[in-house]
Structure 1
Amino acid sequence: MEAEVLFEQRGAIGLITLNRPKALNALTLGMCLAMRDALKAWAVDPAVTAVVVRGAGEKAFCAGGDIRFLHDSGKAGDGGALQFWADEYRLNTLIKRYPKPYIALVDGIVMGGGVGVSAHGSHWVATEKTLFAMPETGIGLFPDVGGTYFLPRLPGKVGIYLGLTGARLKAADCVHAGIASHFVPSAALDGLVERLAAGEAVDAALAAVATDAGPAPIDANRAAIDRLFAGDSVEAILAALDADGSDFGKAQAATLRTKSPTSMKFTLRQLQEGARLDFEDCMRLEYRLTQAIVTGHDFYEGVRAVIIDKDQAPRWQPAALEEVTPAIVNAAFATPPQGDLDLAA
């Protein structure tokens, strides 16, 4: 069997290829640990001046974490899900603090865990095949892998909008929102890798192949997003969307009503708090929330409805926003009895 993630030292770069194309390169625990070890080694290797990460196949950079494993492990109570999240969040932190350029070539779908191994690097390259989303509220989760930090730092209320609705963005929107640092046509990526391998400076190599991503569709709704997603509660946001009367407002209200009420309340508070926290504290906060997730109901129900049975009809508990009380939310955000995650482990 071929390895789930491939590592190559090609000239001046360390090259990582996520190698589960049939699973849209979804991350496993083994992949997270292997990436961590390689990144640590390359960080102190003077022959490696930059790291490039890409996905195998034609469809995806990385469509997320191994959700089915997290579901099964969480249900079994064997500790595997929490171990996965702990090591994934340590990897996200290593990438955020990496001492060398880290260039993610996001040529295809990038969601959830794939965002965590791309968005925190120094350079995020979109192509015409890029499709970005953080769809976690639709499976009873929350936008983790550092979403606590990067989503509230996007322009205006774009991060709140993306985190609550799970809206999908293509390349131009990713550039507009500040998620992507560059747009490079898919056909030019191999040439970019060879430039970097030859030792060309990262910014110069990117400037040689980057082009204009074109107009961003999200721009037409930016004023509406900033106005309608400004509420300090999910109820206030939903009320603003209902009162707006526009097609955009109606569509977003309908979308929110399909999401887990618990997840939406966790997500809004998560992003409100994340705007004031440093990266490490954001990751510790996310780990607290995962512990509420694995002992709760909605994650298992969301995965059942979307991934296992695929009936797209989750039965959330609680089923209404007003039933997700402040006590429920506060308990999820409290420091767990065993303390916060050690990100240096």
Structure 2
Amino acid sequence: MDRPKFRLYFLHPRFWFTWLWLGALWLLIQLPYSFILKLGRGLGYLMYPIAISRREIVRRNLELCFPDWSLEQRQHLLRENFASTGTAFLEMAMSWWWPKQRLARLAHIEGIEHLAEAQSEGQGVILMALHFTTLEIGAALLGQKYTIDGMYRKHKNPCFDYIQRRGRERHNLDSTAIERGDIRGMLKALRAGRVIWYAPDQDYGRQHSVFVPLFGVTAATVTATSTFARLGRAKVVPFVQQRLKDGSGYKLIIYPALENFPAQTEEADCLRINQWVEWAVRQHPEQYLWAHRRFKTRPVGEVGLYQ
């Protein structure tokens, strides 16, 4: 995709509110990092009583995934998850607008050699990420160190879309954005030996999915990871990031490429991916994006799990 360009149309009154709240975000992230973290948590706590529908989705997901936890444990995790989500809004702004050197000081990266090793024979790499609340800043921090292309979904607001893409692509001028539906472009990039960020841990419907367990619950799981790896002749390298509790920044961990992937069947591959997702989420469940209706699509004849 071409680089985003500013258009005079973005100054139209219909976008004034967009510029207003983006400007407020820009001002807030001028604060010291320790203040930003506290402010983000406070924002999350304010969202908790207001975002009723999202709160109920999170609550239901925690019931499904942690049935052996007490009600008090799940309630604590629910509130911490909202605090993490509030922080994520400010981290998004940091990743878009902080000076690169200031941002880079927060990165603690482990295993970056696994990306180079996976590419050593000219193969492309699927950087298998997950939808943690730290997703935006994690991609930015890694993008400063390594050229990574990203799967991209165009935002409905063209002004916000411009700001978002500009913020994401500024960290590495060699990186490109590939629209989520551009399968041909995805495969072309992989066959050219590129590294592409891709997260397979959401419910994208029945089409191109198989049903395999996740946290003991049958979940529609996309088969795209297997398809891209096979047709793009690419390796799959798991990647996670976490917000450090001591306030020193973010730990980014890149793991060795999955061996014997893809396997004989899509079901086996999807089960392996879900097992990885479950393990990674259990490490820091409060930082996962639980507000997504992960179990919305049900097998034929099975009742829905959300009201």
TM-score (norm 1): 0.28
Q: Which has the higher contact order (CA 8 A, sep 6+)?
A: 2
TM-score (norm 2): 0.30
